[in-house]
């Protein structure tokens, strides 16, 4: 595409767009971790953020990759995880959503994303967004062609405080059309006396989400998004505990 060749970021995205684990698994579950990494190429200077801000939740879902990897190992499930920060382009947003390439995230301004020309925006779509979702689509296509069942689950984390308000919720199960699947997960989590809720702290929005609406609901597949509060994912023992809760339910 002509616009891509004119991008000021040409050649910066040399790291693989994603990691793929257990590709040959026949387990029905495909795990997706769209916000696994906070990596931003050095030349972009953290998009104008200081180092502390660039390590915060705005750049990635803290603890989500560790949880996804533990679940992948326990269930022998395929895991597709991102290798770049969502501040460059959010892989769980439709490519033309207003916050696909955010200029502000919570209380933080993202100077490096302000006044981007369309060539650079398109370059990020082509180099980062498109390959990730093409690979996920292919994984699903291959299993359906082989007559295998497929479930798609996104693994995320959320902040314990949002705009100054504490969040007592420990884990949320977000869903669109897969209500029965989501309820099974919710009921299983509830048995552990956890602070759990459906479609909290966010809701699935076909205009604002990608993985569940596009790769799950639109294809008639069971699909949910798991959100764990990130202060509960700060060490290996806690991650293992949440994996033990979730693994039998997914």
38-78: per-residue pLDDT in tens? Answer: 999 999 999 999 999 999 999 999 999 999 999 999 999 99
Structure tokens at 168: 């007592």
Mean pLDDT for the stretch of residues 82-99: 96
For residue 166, list its beta bridge partners.
161
Q: How far apart are CA 160 and CA 158, in angstroms?
A: 7
Other CB atoms within 10 Å distance of the CB of residue 80? 25
Structure tokens at 80: 């597709």
pLDDT, tens only, 15-47: 999 999 999 999 999 999 999 999 999 999 999
Mean pLDDT for the stretch of residues 80-106: 95
Ordered DSSP codes for 55-95:
TSTTTS-TTHHHHHHHHHHHHT-EEEEE-S-TTT--TTS-T
Other CB atoms within 10 Å distance of the CB of residue 52? 8
Where along the chain do its domains lie? 2-249
Structure tokens at 189: 């989590």
Nearest residue to 33 (alpha-carbon basis) of 227, 231, 194, 189: 227
Residue 163: which pLDDT band, with cuts at 50, 70 and 90? confident
Q: Kindly provide the b/e burial profile for residues 181-219, where b requires at least 16 CB atoms within 10 angstroms of the residue's own CB.
A: bbebbbebbeeeebebbeebeeebeeebbbbbbbbbbee
Residue 105 has what pLDDT? Answer: 85
Residue 4 has what pLDDT? Answer: 60
The answer, yes or no, to whether residue 144 has pLDDT greater than 80, is yes
The answer, yes or no, to whether residue 2 has pLDDT greater than 70, is no
Residue 113: which pLDDT band, with cuts at 50, 70 and 90? very high
Other CB atoms within 10 Å distance of the CB of residue 39? 15
Decide if 214 contacts 92 (C-beta within 8 A): no
What percentage of residues in the chain have a pLDDT greater than 90?
Answer: 93
The CATH code for residues 2-249 is: 3.40.630.40
Other CB atoms within 10 Å distance of the CB of residue 95? 18
Residue 1 has what pLDDT? Answer: 41
Structure tokens at 180: 């029965």
Ordered DSSP codes for 217-232:
GGGT-EEEEEEEEGGG
The answer, yes or no, to whether residue 114 has pLDDT greater than 70, is yes
Phi and psi angles of residue 165, each rounded to the nearest 5 degrees, phi first: -100, 125
Nearest 5 degrees, angle CA 204-CA 125-CA 138?
70
Give first-to-last CA distance, the chain, whole Å: 40
The answer, yes or no, to whether residue 219 has pLDDT greater than 60, is yes
Q: Which is higher by pLDDT, 182 or 98?
A: 182
Structure tokens at 171: 């884990």
The answer, yes or no, to whether residue 154 has pLDDT greater than 90, is yes
Other CB atoms within 10 Å distance of the CB of residue 242? 25
Residue 5: which pLDDT band, with cuts at 50, 70 and 90? low
The answer, yes or no, to whether residue 107 has pLDDT greater than 90, is no
Decide if 199 contacts 193 (C-beta within 8 A): no
């Amino acid at each position: 595409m002509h616009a891509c060749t004119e991008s000021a970021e040409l050649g910066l995205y040399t790291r693989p767009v994603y990691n793929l684990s257990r590709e040959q698994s026949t387990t029905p579950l495909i795990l997706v971790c769209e916000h696994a990494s906070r990596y931003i190429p050095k030349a972009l200077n953290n998009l104008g953020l200081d180092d502390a801000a660039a390590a915060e939740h705005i750049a990635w879902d803290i603890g989500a990759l560790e949880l996804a990897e533990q679940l992948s190992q326990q269930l022998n499930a395929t895991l597709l995880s991102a290798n770049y920060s969502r501040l460059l382009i959010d892989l769980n947003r439709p490519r033309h959503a207003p916050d696909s390439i955010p200029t502000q995230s919570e209380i933080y301004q993202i100077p490096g994303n302000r006044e981007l020309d369309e060539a650079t925006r398109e370059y990020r779509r082509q180099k980062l967004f498109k390959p990730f979702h093409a690979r996920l689509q292919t994984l699903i296509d291959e299993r359906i062609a082989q007559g295998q069942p497929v479930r798609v689950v996104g693994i995320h984390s959320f902040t314990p405080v949002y705009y100054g308000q504490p969040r007592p919720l420990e884990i949320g199960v977000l869903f669109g059309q897969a209500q029965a699947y989501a309820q099974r997960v919710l009921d299983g989590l509830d048995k552990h006396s956890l602070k759990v809720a459906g479609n909290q702290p966010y809701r699935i929005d076909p205009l604002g989400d990608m993985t569940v609406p596009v790769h799950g609901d639109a294809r008639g597949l069971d699909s949910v998004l798991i959100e764990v509060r990130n202060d509960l994912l700060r060490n290996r023992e806690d991650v293992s505990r949440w994996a033990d809760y979730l693994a039998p339910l997914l």
